[in-house]
C-alpha cells in the first residue's frame, strides 16, 4: 500500500513510516509536504450519519463524539480520530476536528477567491507547520510550486485586482493585496497536475514564514459536494 500510494506524487512530497518520523523529519531540499500513509480502521460513514451536521463547519470535541450511539465499526472510527487528536496535543499543538457540510460564506469569482477552496499557502510569523487528515469525504489537493504562479504575478488576475483596488500599481496596491490575502493564493500553470492528499493519511506541510528553508506547500480544500460532509483534522 505504501509504495503504490507514494508512486503517484511529485518530488516535493516525502513519505514516512510512523508518527515519530512525521514529527521529526525536517523540511529541506525542496521537500515541503510529509505524509504518513495509513489505512484506518472503522466506519466513518456511521459517524457522519449520527452527527447530522448542519450547514457550515461544526467543531467536534471528545464529549460530543463520545455521546454518539454507534455500532462497533463507528466507535472504532471515533477512536482513530481521538487518537490523532491526543497525539498532536501531546506535542504541544492545538488540533481541531471539524465536520464540514459546505460553507456559509458567499461564493467568490473562481480566480479571485480567497477561501480555502482556492490554491493557497498557509502563513505564520514564526516557524510553524500545518497538520491535516481527511477521515471522510473528498480530500485536500496539493500543487507543486513549479506548477503554480502567485496570484499577484498572474496577469489577468492582477489586472482585475487592480481594478478592484481602484488605485495605482504601487506599494499601496501591494499592501492591499496582502491585507486581502491575495498574496497567499496561487493559480495552476497550464498542464499542472495537482496531487490528492487522500483519505486517512496524516500530513504535515510547510507554511510561509520568515527564514523558511523551503517554499510553502500550496494546497486547497475540495469544493463542497451537496450531501457529502467531510471529517477533517487540522492543526
pLDDT tens digits along 133-183? 999 999 999 999 999 999 999 999 999 999 989 999 999 999 999 999 999
Work out the average pLDDT over 85-91: 97
According to the model, what pLDDT value does residue 103 have? 79
Q: How confident is the model at residue 111 (pLDDT cuts 50, 70, 90)?
A: confident
Which among 89-93, 99-103, 115-119 has the top mean pLDDT? 89-93
Q: Is residue 155 part of a domain?
A: no
Distance CA 87, CA 69 (A): 25
Q: Is residue 162 part of a domain?
A: no
**Reported pTM:** 0.93
Distance CA 42, CA 34 (A): 24
Q: How confident is the model at residue 104 (pLDDT cuts 50, 70, 90)?
A: low
Q: Is residue 140 part of a domain?
A: yes
Q: Is residue 218 part of a domain?
A: yes
Q: Is residue 127 part of a domain?
A: yes
According to the model, what pLDDT value does residue 1 have? 45
Q: Is residue 163 part of a domain?
A: no
Instruction: Determine the structural domain holding residue 58 and report its residue range.
Output: 2-146+190-234
**Does the structure show a pLDDT above 50 at 217?**
yes
**Does the structure show a pLDDT above 90 at 12?**
yes
Assign 3-class secondary structure to the chain. Answer: CHHHHHCCCCCCEEECCCHHHHHHCCCCCCCCEEEECCCCCCCHHHHHHHHCCCCEEEECCHHHHHCCCCCHHHHHHHHHHHHHHHHHHHCCCCCEEEEEECCCCCCCCCCCCCCCCCCECCECCCCCEEEEEEEECCCCEEECHHHEEEHHHCHHHHHHHHHHHCCCCCHHHHHHHHHCCHHHEEEECCCCCCEECCCCCEEEEECECCCCCCCCCEEECCCCCCCCCEEEEEC
Q: How confident is the model at residue 227 (pLDDT cuts 50, 70, 90)?
A: confident
Q: Is residue 180 part of a domain?
A: no
Count of structural domains within the chain? 1
Amino acid at each position: 500500500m505504501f509504495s503504490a500510494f507514494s508512486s503517484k506524487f511529485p518530488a516535493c512530497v516525502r513519505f514516512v513510516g510512523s508518527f515519530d518520523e512525521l514529527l521529526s523529519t525536517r523540511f529541506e531540499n525542496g521537500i515541503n509536504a510529509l505524509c504518513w500513509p495509513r489505512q484506518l480502521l472503522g466506519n466513518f460513514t456511521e459517524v457522519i450519519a449520527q452527527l447530522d451536521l448542519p450547514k457550515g463547519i461544526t467543531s467536534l470535541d471528545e464529549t460530543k463524539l463520545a455521546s454518539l450511539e454507534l455500532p462497533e465499526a463507528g466507535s472504532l472510527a471515533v477512536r482513530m480520530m481521538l487518537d490523532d487528536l491526543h497525539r498532536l496535543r501531546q506535542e504541544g499543538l492545538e488540533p481541531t476536528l471539524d465536520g464540514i457540510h459546505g460553507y456559509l460564506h458567499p461564493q467568490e469569482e473562481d480566480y479571485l477567491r480567497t477561501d480555502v477552496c482556492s490554491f493557497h499557502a498557509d502563513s505564520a510569523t514564526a516557524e510553524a507547520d500545518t497538520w491535516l487528515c481527511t477521515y471522510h469525504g473528498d480530500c485536500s489537493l496539493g500543487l507543486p510550486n513549479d506548477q503554480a504562479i502567485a496570484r499577484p504575478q498572474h496577469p489577468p488576475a492582477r489586472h482585475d485586482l487592480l481594478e478592484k483596488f481602484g488605485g495605482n500599481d504601487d506599494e499601496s496596491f501591494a499592501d492591499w493585496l496582502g491585507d486581502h490575502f491575495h498574496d497567499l493564493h496561487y493559480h495552476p500553470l497550464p498542464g499542472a497536475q495537482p496531487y490528492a492528499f487522500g483519505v486517512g493519511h496524516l500530513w504535515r506541510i510547510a507554511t510561509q514564514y520568515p527564514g523558511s528553508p523551503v517554499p510553502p506547500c500550496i494546497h486547497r480544500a475540495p469544493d463542497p459536494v451537496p450531501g457529502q460532509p467531510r471529517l477533517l483534522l487540522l492543526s
